[in-house]
Structure 1
C-alpha cells in the first residue's frame, strides 16, 4: 500500500483503503523534501481528544498557514507512533518516553526535537477509597493498560518510586475499555494521564489518582523525527516553521484556554457533545499545566530539560528496558527551540484577547476550575 493509503486509520485502529494525497498536498512540505504533506501521527489511535489542542487552535488562527501538514490517528498499538516515523510512513510522532526508549533500543534512528510534556503527565487511577500515595503497596497487584506497550510507561514510573516492578501484574484491557474494566473491579489500578481525567468524568468514571504531576520528576511525551532530517537544511527549516505553529498554539491556549477548547470542539463535534464546555476546559487546563511546566526554568515551549531526560534514561537502563546506557544529549536536542519560539508574542496575545467566545464558554469559570484541578488526587 502507498504511504497515504496506509495511514488512513480509524479510531479503533482498523486500517482502511482510503487513498489520500492529490494536488492539495503539494507545496512547501514537498519542496522541503518530504513526501507530499508533512504527517504527524498520534500515539493513541484517535485524534478526537483535547491533547492536540495547540495544533487545532493554531490551525484556526492561521499559525500553520502555507505549510502542507496533516494529522493522523495511527493504529492504537502504542508503538506505532515511532515505527511509522522510522520507516517513513509518517514524519513526526508523539511517543511517551518509554515508547521512545523502545524505539532507540530497537535501532530506530529518531531524535526528540520538541518536548511537549515538561511535567510527568502519567498517573494511576484507583476506585474511590482504594487509592494510595505509597506505590510500593501495588506490589503483587494488577494494573490495567489500554495497550501492552504501555508497560514501558508504567515500569519506569513505578521503579522511580521504589517499586519492584517484577511484582506487578499487568493486564491489557484494551483501548478504550481499560478504565471501565477498572470500574468493574477487574484490576487494582489503571494507567491514566492529565486531560484524560476530565474525559473519564464525562463518561461517569470518577476515580481517585496518584498524580505524576505531583510526585514524579520524569519527563512525558515528546515530538520525535528521523535524526537524518535534522541534517537536511530544507527539512530542518521546515521543522522550525512547523514547530513555531505548535508553540504559538500552545501560547494561545495558555492565554485563552476556553478558545482553544472551542477550536478542538469545532473540529470534533462528537467530542464536544461528550464533554461539554466545563469538562473540556478542565481537560485542557490539566494538559497546559503539563505542557508548560516551570516556564521560568525552560528555554521556551518544547525545551528539553536534559537532566530530567538523563534521569529517565538511567532508570530504563537499570530496569533493562534498554541494553546500553543512553546519553540524553545524543537523542534529544534543543536546536529547534529558539526558532520555534521566535514568534510575535504580541500577535498571539492580541489573538487570544480578541477571540469572541460563545455564550456557553463565556459561562465557564476558569479560575474556579484551576482551584479544584487536583481534587481527585489521593489525599
Structure 2
C-alpha cells in the first residue's frame, strides 16, 4: 500500500478501542463517551431484556425499516419485547454499541461491518437484508458519468467519514484507483444539499434515499449499484457469543421471523407498508407524501428481495458475493487480514426466520384497507419510472 493516502477507515480503526469505546469500571459504554445522549439501555439480562435494534443513520424517520413497523402493527413480533433506537450519527456506532452490549442488533453496511472485524469486534452477520447493492453515486443533473474511473481526481461527498468504507470497495470493483479520490465529510443530513449547492463532484446515495431526496427538492443523476454492482449491502449483525446461547438463538429466530414476515407483507402490499411508517412519523409522512414514499419503498424492496429464486428466503447470505467483497477490501488494504465469509456470516437462522405461514401474510396484506390517498396510486406506473434518473 506504499504511496497510498491513509484511509479514513484505518484512522478510525486506530482510534476506536482507545477513544470511542470508553467504558466504566463495569465494562458498560457511557452515553457521554459515544455521544448517545443517554437513551440506550444498560447491559442485558438473559436471554434479553428489551431487545434493542440500532440504526446506522442516527434517525428512524426513513422508510428503510418498514418491515419492522408493519410487523409491529400486524402483531408479528408476538409479544417479544423489542425497540428501535436511532443511535448517534457516527457511521460506526451501529457496530460499536452491539459490540459492547449497549444494543443487541445493528444494521451496518458491509464496509462498516469490516471496520468492526478489523477492530477485533466479535460480531456476526445473521440476516442479510441487502441482497442487491443498495449504494449509488449521485451527480448533479447533466454531470453524471457511467465509467466511475472518471472520478479519479474528483471529490466525493459523504455524510459520515465512516462511509469511505462503503465507497472504496464499490469504486475499486469498478477499476477506480481509490487513492486518487478525495473524500469530504459534508455531514448528516446535509451532504446531498452540499452536492446540489456545487460542493464536490459526486456523493454517496442509496436506494430509497433517491426518492426521499426528490421529496426535499434534490434531484440528481445516479450511477446505481443495484444495476452495476455485485457487492452485498447492509446486514443485521449480533454478537457472535449470542449464537452460542440456545435461549438467545431461539429469541433471534422469532425476532427475525417477524422481520421476514414484514418483508413479505411489504412485497405483497408496498403501499400498506409505507402507511405503517407514516403512522409512526407524521412529519416525515407530510414531507414525503404517498407517491414518493411508495417509490422509495419499491426501490428498497428491489434491494431486499433480490433474485429470490436464487435465495433460500429473506435474509439469506450469498457467500460468494460476501467473499468477493472481503477479497476486494483486503486487496485495497481496508482490512489487514483475509476474511472467510463463512466465519463471519451465517445462514443458520434463515430457515427458522422464513418458517412462517406465507399464505396468511399474503392474506393479511390483501385484506389491508388502504387510505384514499394510497389506494388511488398506480403502483405499476411508479415501478415503470423507478430508474428514470439512472445514468
Shared fold by TM > 0.5? yes
1:357 aligns with one of 356, 361, 370: 370
| Match in the other structure for 1:265 | 278
After superposition, where does 1:189-200 map in structure 2 within 5 Å?
Answer: 189-200=202-213
1:210 paired to 2:223 = yes
2:164 aligns with one of 127, 151, 164: 151
After superposition, where does 1:215-294 map in structure 2 within 5 Å?
Answer: 215-294=228-307
- The one-character-per-residue Cα deviations of 1:228-287 (angstroms, maximum 9, x if unpaired) are 100000000000000000000000000000000000000000110010000000000000
Quick one: structure 1 residues 18 and 5, their matched pair in 2 at CA, closer, same or farther if it must change by over 3 Å?
Answer: farther
1:89 aligns with one of 102, 108, 111: 102
Q: What's the TM-score once normalised by structure 1's chain length?
A: 0.93
- Offset at residue 33 of structure 1 (A): 1.8
Q: Distance in 2 between matches of 1:368 and 1:87?
A: 46
Quick one: structure 1 residues 7 and 38, their matched pair in 2 at CA, closer, same or farther if it must change by over 3 Å?
Answer: farther
- Offset at residue 109 of structure 1 (A): 0.3
2:310 aligns with one of 253, 278, 297: 297
- Offset at residue 20 of structure 1 (A): 6.3
- Offset at residue 347 of structure 1 (A): 1.1
SS in structure 2 of the partner of residue 263 of structure 1: helix
| Match in the other structure for 1:24 | none
Quick one: structure 1 residues 232 and 144, their matched pair in 2 at CA, closer, same or farther if it must change by over 3 Å?
Answer: same
After superposition, where does 1:155-166 map in structure 2 within 5 Å?
Answer: 155-166=168-179
Q: Distance in 1 between matches of 2:254 and 2:121?
A: 25
- Offset at residue 65 of structure 1 (A): 2.1
| Match in the other structure for 2:47 | 33
2:37 aligns with one of 10, 13, 16: 16
Quick one: structure 1 residues 162 and 342, their matched pair in 2 at CA, closer, same or farther if it must change by over 3 Å?
Answer: same
| Match in the other structure for 2:183 | 170
Q: Distance in 2 between matches of 1:20 and 1:195?
A: 30
1:347 paired to 2:360 = yes
After superposition, where does 1:47-86 map in structure 2 within 5 Å?
Answer: 47-86=60-99
SS in structure 2 of the partner of residue 39 of structure 1: strand
Q: Distance in 2 between matches of 1:282 and 1:3?
A: 44
Q: Distance in 2 between matches of 1:3 and 1:198?
A: 42
Q: Distance in 2 between matches of 1:19 and 1:164?
A: 40
After superposition, where does 1:123-134 map in structure 2 within 5 Å?
Answer: 123-134=136-147
The answer on whether the counterparts of 1:144 and 1:187 sit within 8 Å (CA) in structure 2 is yes
How many residue pairs get matched?
366
SS in structure 2 of the partner of residue 71 of structure 1: strand
Q: Distance in 2 between matches of 1:87 and 1:149?
A: 19
Q: Distance in 2 between matches of 1:346 and 1:150?
A: 39
The answer on whether the counterparts of 2:260 and 2:314 sit within 8 Å (CA) in structure 1 is yes
- The one-character-per-residue Cα deviations of 1:153-198 (angstroms, maximum 9, x if unpaired) are 0000000000000000000000000000000111000000000000
Q: What's the TM-score once normalised by structure 2's chain length?
A: 0.91
Q: Distance in 2 between matches of 1:7 and 1:185?
A: 36
SS in structure 1 of the partner of residue 289 of structure 2: helix
- Offset at residue 16 of structure 1 (A): 3.0
Q: Considering only aligned residues, what root-mean-square deviation do their CA atoms show, in Å?
A: 1.9
Q: Mark the runs of 5 or more structure 1 residues left unpaired by the alignment.
A: 22-28
Quick one: structure 1 residues 20 and 108, their matched pair in 2 at CA, closer, same or farther if it must change by over 3 Å?
Answer: closer
The answer on whether the counterparts of 1:105 and 1:323 sit within 8 Å (CA) in structure 2 is yes
SS in structure 1 of the partner of residue 297 of structure 2: helix
SS in structure 1 of the partner of residue 149 of structure 2: helix
| Match in the other structure for 1:114 | 127
- The one-character-per-residue Cα deviations of 1:284-320 (angstroms, maximum 9, x if unpaired) are 0000000000000000000000000000000000010
